[in-house]
Amino acid sequence: MPHRDGPITGEQAKQHALVRLREAITRGDMVPAQRLVEAELAEQFGVTRASIRAALIDLTAAGLVERIPNRGARVRVVSVEEAVAITECRMVLEGLCAAKAAARATDEQVAELAALGEAMAKAVADGEPLTYSELNHRLHARIRDISGQQVAVELLERLNAQLVRHRFQLALRPGRPQRSLDEHLALIEAIRARDPKAAEAAAHAHLASVIEALSST
């Protein structure tokens, strides 16, 4: 919110703008190729244009924003080919996290993953693909948290943020949520069985399926 005496400035303002912009892009509120006009964003977020400019520089480095010569900034467009390449990297890192989670998960954490699996199954049965997509995202995030592999977690957060549009599109494809559900339930079961190799294999199988779906776009 704007300060009553004018826009907020400095590092606080930059961080405020950075958080708001990242959330808008990763939620899909700002879509690929959408122009990011500094003056408009500064007014919207109650910060200075310099703060917006600094935030856009950080988001460009993170792969969420791109600068077009003489045109300013826009939300970065991730091609199908790049989405496949990103998912290939995810496969390795998600497999590592799944294996670590299988070795570390407490009974309470396993129950939490199972509950997410049940909610995902309900979303598919009820024909709610966007709810399923959000639960899918939460499941992967929770497995990463349980893994304790912080380096992999940070890398995956950066990679996943670039795939948000493709994730939504896959969730809306007929038949895709059911196949994805089966893959996730196998992953949850492997973690429940405390079987790191099976968990890693299940993560790899799921992401290989995502790559196949992306490639057929």
What is the CATH number for 146? Answer: 1.20.120.530
Q: What is the CATH number of the domain that holds 58?
A: 1.10.10.10
Where a domain ends, among 29, 49, 75? Answer: 75
pLDDT of amino acid 8: 67
Residue 84 falls within a domain, yes or no? yes
- Within 10 angstroms of residue 86's Cβ, the number of other Cβ atoms is 20
Same-domain status, 23 and 63: yes
Residue where the block lists tokens 């939620």: 27
Residues 67 and 60: beta-carbon distance below 8 Å: yes
1 within some domain:
no
Can you give the pLDDT at residue 23? 87
Q: Residue 4 falls within a domain, yes or no?
A: no
Residues 185 and 88 in one domain: yes
pLDDT at 5: 56
Whether residue 92 sits in one domain with residue 198: yes
Q: Are residues 54 and 112 in the same domain?
A: no
Q: Both 123 and 55 in a single domain?
A: no
Both 42 and 125 in a single domain?
Answer: no
Rounded to whole angstroms, the Cα distance separating 171 from 68 reads: 30
Q: Do 101 and 56 fall within a single domain?
A: no
Q: Do 107 and 132 fall within a single domain?
A: yes
Question: In whole angstroms, what is the distance from residue 145 CA to residue 139 CA?
Answer: 10
d(CA 58, CA 113): 33
Same domain, residue pair 23 and 122: no
- Asked if residue 145 and residue 103 are part of one domain, the reply reads yes
Looking at 25, 53, 75, the residue that finishes a domain is 75
Q: Where are the alpha helices (DSSP H) in the chain?
A: 10-26, 38-45, 49-61, 80-104, 107-125, 129-147, 150-161, 164-171, 176-192, 196-215
| pLDDT at residue 26, as a whole number | 80
Total structural domains within the chain: 2
The answer to whether residue 2 is domain-embedded is: no
**Is residue 5 in a domain?**
no
The residue segments making up the domain with residue 42 are 10-75
Does this model's pTM top 0.85?
no
CB 75 within 8 Å of CB 30 = yes
- Whether residues 110 and 191 share a domain: the answer is yes
| Below-50 pLDDT ranges, the chain | 1-4
Claim to verify: residue 34 and residue 129 sit in the same structural domain: no
